[in-house]
């Protein structure tokens, strides 16, 4: 007898009954198991006691706001979180991503896009810590040896260039905000120094992209940050 296929469990935290019902139908139809919570306090309890594989979180929650739920969750958990919110302004997206969200989708949303983003989040979680060698195009990165090659030829990177490359590649497909990158590589006092990033990103593109003026892998998310991926 073949074992039953693995069904990831998703916790939906949203105060709208209709949205919870819609998400349950959409997710269960795609093979996910679903739990839900109608407010942030219950969502944190469910996350702590049931340990789902991923969380879909609304920002406009009664009582404890969604952004605060996310911040409290990130104090003890790296569970992947997809923000689903009517707040589609750039500032809201930046705040949520800086607080630790893995992705952001505005309402109204398409079921197909939601499922694709959720599957991508789960893939990244599965591979993020396992990856010792990564490749894209004709570039290969050996994280254990800290060696980068392009078409078989060693590429010399400065420590900061390598740090930026590693951060982006290990979060493949995810938008990393300017502040997150600056805080990670230069420390909290450098969070506003976005000129650093422009310089180092230009260096990476020059060394690793086939056409630095039309980058295929190192993508700019205007006003927000950068995303690595094809």
Say if 2 falls within a structural domain. Answer: no
**Cα 201 → chain centroid:** 19
122 and 137 share a domain? no
* Of the residues 107, 128, 149, the one at which a domain ends: 128
Predicted confidence at residue 6, as pLDDT, reads 62
Predicted confidence at residue 1, as pLDDT, reads 41
Query: How many whole angstroms separate alpha carbon 95 and alpha carbon 219?
Result: 20
Tell me the residue range of the domain where 103 lies: 9-128
Write out the two tokens for 58: 């609304």
108, 118, 171, 199, 223 from 113: Cα distances, Å: 11, 8, 19, 33, 23
Query: How many whole angstroms separate alpha carbon 116 and alpha carbon 109?
Result: 12
Predicted confidence at residue 20, as pLDDT, reads 95
107 and 218 share a domain? no
Residues of the chain with pLDDT under 50: 1-4, 130
* Of the residues 112, 128, 144, the one at which a domain ends: 128
- Digit-coded pLDDT (tens) for 104-134: 998 888 999 999 999 988 887 765 554 568 8
């Amino acid at each position: 007898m073949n074992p039953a296929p693995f069904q990831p469990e998703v916790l939906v935290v949203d105060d709208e009954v209709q949205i919870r019902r819609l998400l349950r139908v959409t997710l269960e139809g795609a093979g996910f198991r679903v739990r839900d919570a109608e407010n942030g306090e219950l969502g944190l309890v469910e996350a702590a006691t049931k340990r789902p594989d991923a969380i879909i979180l609304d920002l406009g929650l009664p009582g404890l706001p969604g952004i605060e739920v996310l911040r409290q969750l990130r104090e003890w958990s790296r569970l992947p979180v997809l923000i689903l919110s009517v707040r589609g302004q750039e500032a809201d997206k930046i705040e949520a991503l800086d607080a630790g969200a893995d992705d952001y989708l505005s309402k109204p949303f398409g079921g197909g896009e939601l499922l694709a983003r959720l599957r991508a989040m789960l893939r990244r979680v599965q591979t993020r810590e396992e990856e010792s060698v990564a490749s894209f195009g004709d570039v290969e990165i050996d994280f254990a040896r800290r060696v980068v090659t392009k078409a078989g030829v060693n590429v010399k990177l400065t420590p900061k260039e390598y740090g930026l490359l590693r951060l982006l590649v290990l979060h493949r497909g995810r938008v990393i905000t300017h502040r997150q990158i600056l805080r990670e590589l230069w420390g909290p006092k450098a969070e506003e120094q976005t000129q650093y990033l422009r310089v180092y990103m230009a260096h990476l593109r020059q060394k690793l992209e086939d056409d630095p003026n039309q980058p295929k892998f190192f993508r700019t998310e205007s006003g927000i940050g950068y995303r690595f991926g094809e």
